[in-house]
């Protein structure tokens, strides 16, 4: 019977904090290990991702603005107490 193959390194699901810090562990955004890239390829990848994000932001800007405005209006309505004009101020 052959022994079961053990992976060399488990996938990194969490970023471990530095041993001297006291922060909580953070969940990784990318649940797999990214490949090593040359400096040029890394810069090009980051530029591409920025362009994609900018395109998405431009496409959905009006909807995002409407949503944020509604959320601000809801938060403002919760903070503003309903005043009754007939009540004396003190």
Q: Over range 59-81, report the average pLDDT.
A: 88
* Closest C-alpha to 29, from 46, 45, 13, 10: 13
Structural domain range at position 40: 36-78
Higher pLDDT, 7 or 79: 79
Identify whether the C-beta of residue 11 lies closer than 8 Å to the C-beta of residue 33.
yes
Q: Is residue 54 part of a domain?
A: yes
The pLDDT value recorded for residue 20 is 55
- What is the domain count for the chain? 1
- Chain centroid to CA 73: 24
Query: Does residue 74 belong to any structural domain of this protein?
Result: yes
**How does pLDDT run across 3-18, given as a tens digit for each residue?**
555 445 544 444 445 5
Tens digits of residue pLDDT in 24-66: 666 667 778 889 999 999 999 999 999 999 999 999 999 999 9
In a domain, 62, yes or no: yes
Within-domain flag for 69: yes
């Amino acid at each position: 019977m052959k022994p079961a193959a053990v992976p060399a390194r488990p996938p990194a699901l969490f970023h471990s904090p530095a041993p001297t810090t006291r922060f909580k562990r953070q969940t990784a955004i990318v649940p797999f290990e990214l490949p090593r890239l040359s400096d040029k390829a890394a810069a090009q990848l980051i530029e591409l991702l920025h362009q994609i994000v900018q395109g998405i932001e431009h496409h959905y800007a009006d909807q995002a603005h409407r949503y944020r405005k509604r959320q601000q209006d809801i938060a403002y309505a919760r903070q503003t107490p309903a005043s009754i004009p007939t009540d004396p101020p003190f």
